[in-house]
Each structure stands twice: as C-alpha cells, then as structure tokens.
Amino acid sequence: MKIQLCNHTFENSDGQGGVNQRVADALSINHWVIRVASDSTGDKRLSVRPWLPTPIRHQCFALKLCVYLFPAGDELLICNGAMTYVSTDINISHFVHSAWMHADGHDWNQRKSLRSGYQWLVTRLNSVLEKCAYRTARHVVAVSHSVRDDLIKFAGVDAQKITVIPNGLDTRRFTKTTSSPSWRTDLPYGSLIIGFCGGLKTRRKNLDVLIDVMKSLPSNIHLAVAGAYEGGPYSEEIRSGGFADRIHLLGPVDDMPAFYKGCDLFVCVSHYEPWGQVVTEAMASGLPVIVSRNVGASSAIKHGENGLLIDSPRDALGLSVAIRELTIDSCKRDVLGSAASKSALAFDWERVGERYLELVNGMIPHAGIGRSVADSDGESCEALSERQAAIEAVE
C-alpha cells in the first residue's frame, strides 16, 4: 500500500518529527511510505520560505500539501494536526490547541501583553484549523489519554474514531550511556541535580514553580535545564533572583542521554503537556521522576512504585516535599529509578510501531473513500491551485 505521511520535518531531534520518522520506519516494513515535508528530511519536499513567520509558513505548507494530496486517489494519507485542508485517513494528534488556549498556564491567561496577545491569536488560529482537520479525518490517533479527552471535550471529535497510541522511544539509546556531561563535573562535590527539559520561550513548561521551590531547597541542590531559552522570560528572572549559581540554563542539548546521566532526578510539571517524551526518556535512563498528573505521560507512573506524582503543576508545596523526599533518600532514588527503567520498556518503538502497523492495516480497505478538501470555505481544487500560485509568487 502506498502511504503519504506528512509532517513539517522528519528530523530526529525534533520531537514530533522524530516520532513521525519512527512511524515511517514501522510502516515501511509492509508498505511503501512517502515522507512529505517542508525540509530536506522528507522523500518529497514541498519547500516554503524559512524567513516567513511561523503561522504563515505553516499555511503555505498546508496549501501546497492540499494541491499535492488532493488527487491522491486510494493512497492512505496520514497527517499531524492542522497540516492540510485535505481530509485524511489518519490524523495524529500531538497537541490540542483549543485545550491549551483554555489552560491556566497559557501566556495570555497569565499576563496580558502584546507578546501574550500574539500567542493567543496563533493558538486561536490553530485551534480553529485543527478542529476541522480532526473532525474530517477518518480516524485520529491521540498520543495520550489526556489528548483523547481534550479531543472529545474541546475539538468535538467522536470518541469512537480515536485510538490512543503513546509516543515511543529507543530505550537502548538511553540505557547504554555511561559518560556524564562536562557541566556536571564543574559543580561542587556533593551536589544533587534536578533535571528539567523544554523550550522556555513561553511559560507552558512551568519552570516558574521550580524556580520558586528552589528558594527553599538546600544549597547543594542544583537545577539543570535543557532547552532553548533565548528570547524567553527566564534568564533575567534567574539572574535577578540570585540563582545563577544553582540554576543552569544549558540551552539546546544534543546528547540527551548524557544529560539524563548527569542528573539525580527529573521533574516535569508543565501547565499543558499532551505526552511528555522527556518523562519516558528519563525513566529509560533510570532516573526517578516527579510528574504532575495533567502530563500525558503520567499514565506511565504508579505513584511510589516507579515515580512520584503531584496533583497540580501549581502545587509548589507538593513538589517541594517530593523533591526533598528523593534528595534525602538515595536508596529510594535507586529503587524508583530501577523500576522506572523497566516500565519504560513498554514504550519501546518496536512495540509502539506494531500498534501503528495494526491500525494502518485495518484502514487500508477504505483508504481514500470520501476524501475532500476540508477547508471551511469549501474551495475547489482549482481555487486552491490559484491561491497556491499566489503564495509562491509572494515567496
């Protein structure tokens, strides 16, 4: 079966891109998979100008995909979110923007400003587009049970056409690492390191609560943060708060297995986290994890057995108690970390890939039936072609 798998990128270092690459690998065992991307990582490249603002760049790609995919016939189409206006056979939902828009942690809901207003507009645009994409897809894959609930509640998707398939990981990549990162050796002897990971240009990852908790923790406890922070709100807050010697903003980290190796425990308490790949990566690395229950990957954790759960991402006291519990008891860290690494095996890509393959095999007899252009204006393919030509002229 010929399958068109569409995503902006299939770069392994990109979270969603890496997942799609693994899905492509799994499906390629039995099918002919064409990866369609806007960069050179795909088999078919529908390039857009990289200097365009992200929302415009995404819509340019969506229109190009529409023209490319509309005459696809009985091919199986798989896309991610609001990637195109063509109705698809399978849509993989990694993020529900309409749910994020209503979350307390959204920048607009925390602070009204030009910056947060722009974030609200982008989220609103994505939420409108993705509702149409999910509703017109024949089947939707949710990467967690929390995403499934959000799709039903906020996007109005029929529960009967949703399958939950969590994101997988290469467990061997995170268990074979033996070297610690250089930044760890630069810290004072006896330091305990809390690991944290995520892009910090917005407050969605909720580093705020950890900064607050650090104020009351002993001076030998440090926080290592992997992820881009330039242009975000945190670097100045950390400097002005006097934590520059204990909170280490490392920026983007290429060798994540080594990063986890340098940590003693890991925390994920995002305001909105559909899955949280970093949680299962930390577990596979043998780290005890502290996760808030709203994080999608919290479903992998049994409190007190292979990690610790806190009720809310805003629960600074509960987070502080959990961190103290693990930092003073090395035996408990070892027990939870060992159990976590065993639990992570359930998310190995070999197992997760089999679930995608099973789903696709069941969809093949009806591939392409009733396919249409799913934009709200009901434009014809000819009209979309005209719009495409106009955009290319602008580019």
Alpha-carbon separation of residue 290 from 35, 127, 179, 298, 319 (angstroms): 36, 30, 24, 9, 8
Is the torsion defined by CA of 58, 68, 46, 385 positive or negative? negative
- Domain with 358 in it: 2-168+348-394
CATH (domain of 225): 3.40.50.2000
Residue 111 has pLDDT above 50, yes or no: yes
| Statement: residue 332 has pLDDT above 50 | yes
Residue 390 has pLDDT above 70, yes or no: no
153 and 291 in one domain?
no
The 10s digit of each residue's pLDDT in 283-330 is 999 999 999 999 999 999 999 999 999 999 999 999 999 999 999 999
Please answer whether residues 10 and 24 qualify as being in contact, where contact means their C-beta atoms are separated by less than 8 angstroms.
yes
In this structure, the chain runs to a length of: 395
Catalogue the E-assigned strands of 31-157.
32-37, 44-45, 76-80, 90-93, 139-142
- 151 and 293 fall within a common domain: no
Distances 93 to 160, 380, 389 between C-alpha atoms, Å:
15, 26, 29
Res. 391: pLDDT tops 50: no
Mean pLDDT of 219-231: 91
Calpha distance 28→3 (Å, rounded): 9
Both 280 and 342 in a single domain? yes
Phi, psi of 126 (to 5 degrees): -65, -35
Query: Does pLDDT of 74 surpass 90?
Result: no
At residue 71, the pLDDT reads 66
Of 3-7, 117-121, 184-188, minimum mean pLDDT range = 184-188
Is residue 240 a contact partner of residue 207, using CB atoms and an 8 Å limit? no
Q: Which residues of 354-391 are buried (b: 16+ CB within 10 A; e: fewer)?
A: ebbbebbeebeeebeeebebbbeeeeeeeebeebbeeb
Residue 268, Cα to own-chain centre: how many angstroms?
13
Which of the two residues, 69 and 355, has the higher pLDDT score? Answer: 355
Q: How confident is the model at residue 91 (pLDDT cuts 50, 70, 90)?
A: very high
Domain boundary residue, one of 308, 325, 347 = 347
- Read off the pLDDT of residues 8-31 as tens digits, 9 standing for 90 and up: 999 988 889 999 999 999 999 999
Report, as an integer, the average pLDDT of 351-380. 73
Instruction: Place 105 in a pLDDT band, splitting at 50, 70 and 90.
Output: confident
User: Is 395 a residue whose pLDDT tops 60?
Assistant: no
pLDDT tens string 261-279 = 999 999 999 999 999 999 9
On whether both 176 and 148 belong to a single domain, the answer is no
Q: What are phi and psi of 122, to 5 degrees?
A: -65, -45
164 and 176 share one domain: no
Collect all residues with Cβ–Cβ distance below 8 Å to 69 and sequence separation of at least 6: 4, 6, 36, 77, 84, 86
Same domain, 147 and 236: no
Same domain, 387 and 257: no
pLDDT of residue 150: 97
Number of domains in the chain: 2
Instruction: Report residue 379's pLDDT band, with 50, 70 and 90 as the boundaries.
Output: very low
CA–centroid distance for 179 within its chain: 27
**Residue 241 banded pLDDT, cuts 50, 70, 90:** confident
Token pair 């639990």 is found at 343
pTM of the model: 0.88
Give yes or no: residues 134 and 217 share one domain. no
State the pLDDT at residue 373: 56
In this structure, the answer to whether residues 220 and 245 fall within a common structural domain is: yes
Question: Mean pLDDT for the chain?
Answer: 89
pLDDT over 70 (residue 384): no
Please, which pLDDT band fits residue 37 given cuts at 50, 70 and 90? Answer: very high
The sign of the dihedral angle between the CA atoms of 180, 199, 41, 33 is positive
Cβ contact 372:66 at 8 Å = no
Confidence of residue 178 (pLDDT cuts 50, 70, 90): low
Statement to judge: residues 357 and 376 lie in one domain: yes
Using the CB atoms, write b or e for 256-269: b if 16+ within 10 Å: bbbbbbbbbbbbbb
State the pLDDT confidence band at 234, using cuts at 50, 70 and 90: confident
